[in-house]
Amino acid sequence: MTAAMRLTVVGCAGSFPGPDSPASCYLLQAPHEGRTYSLLIDLGNGALGYLQRHTDLEAVDSVALSHLHVDHCIDLCSFYVFRKYHPAGPMAPIPVYGPAETAARLASAYDLPLAPGMSEEFDFRPWKPTQQVGPFEITAVRVDHPVEAYALRVSAGSRTFVYSGDTGPTDLLVEVARDADVFLCEASFVESGDNPPNVHLTGAQAGDHATRAGVGRLLLTHLPAWTDRSEVEADTKTTFDGSFEVVQPGATYDI
């Protein structure tokens, strides 16, 4: 791997799995201590299956959750089963970064007692403003969504990748995306829709945030299956002059 990081889109369907994609899941890899380190960013419904097209599940080193809506985290329940009941024996816990309630919410989702919950399979770590995760320095910034939700700024070497998570328009997103080499931004809504505030972005709003942040490349994600991709692209062109594309499952980007 010659780039600082490689991003693989495992799933990019917004809000629920679509016919061609699981919900949100991104694999971010970088060289670390003589091998490739694998960080999963979000693990939405359906993603654990598609993930096996791109990596052995045993090779996942850590998980980062933007927030606890099911389309971003619920396949951690399935990953728990894989780690706990694997025929080769239980696997040592790996770090899972996320909102403060992550351990309790996932235990509840699987109908487990809160202790131990999934703590023997995952080492739950609430987001701090910054943390070192293998080769990645990750800054987590609260954004504008109905639940505790974070945008993530991930740096390795001199390169920077930023993921919006789910968010409505906010200047905080511009700050966290400042000068990013690649900005993976949600574009769930269309300008022609009757969109509630403080939930999601349109392509035009994603493009506006990306323009103000001065990002190098814009990648759009989290389009629900009912949304016309060409409308999102047309919306985005009204506010963003640079290179952008709507991501597809299986796409890889060297950053």
Stretch that binds Zn ion, among 95-103, 162-170, 190-198, 208-216 (CB under 5 A): 162-170
**Hey, which residues between 122 and 141 contact Zn ion (CB under 5 A)?**
none
71 binds Zn ion (CB under 5 A): yes
Binds Zn ion (CB under 5 A): choice among 166, 181, 208, 235 = 166
Tell me, what DSSP letter sits at residue 195? P
Q: Which one, 15 or 78, has the nearer CB to Zn ion? A: 15
| C-alpha 21 chain-centroid distance | 14
42 binds Zn ion (CB under 5 A): no
Tell me, what DSSP letter sits at residue 58? G
Stretch that binds Zn ion, among 62-70, 104-112, 205-213, 228-236 (CB under 5 A): 62-70
Tell me, what DSSP letter sits at residue 57? G
Binds Zn ion (CB under 5 A): choice among 39, 68, 69, 107 = 69
Helix (H) or strand (E) holding 73: helix 70-73
Question: Which has the closest alpha carbon to 68: 60, 57, 77?
Answer: 77
Binding footprint of Zn ion, residue count (CB under 5 A) = 3
Q: Which one, 121 or 166, has the nearer CB to Zn ion? A: 166
Helix (H) or strand (E) holding 221: strand 217-221
d(CA 251, CA 9): 5
Q: Smallest distance from the beta carbon of 163 to Zn ion, in angstroms?
A: 12
105 binds Zn ion (CB under 5 A): no
Q: Smallest distance from the beta carbon of 206 to Zn ion, in angstroms?
A: 14
Q: Smallest distance from the beta carbon of 120 to Zn ion, in angstroms?
A: 28
Q: Can you say whether the dihedral through the CA atoms of 125, 209, 188, 23 is positive or negative?
A: negative
Peptide bond into 169 cis (omega under 30): no
> Where does this chain bind Zn ion (CB under 5 A)?
69, 71, 166
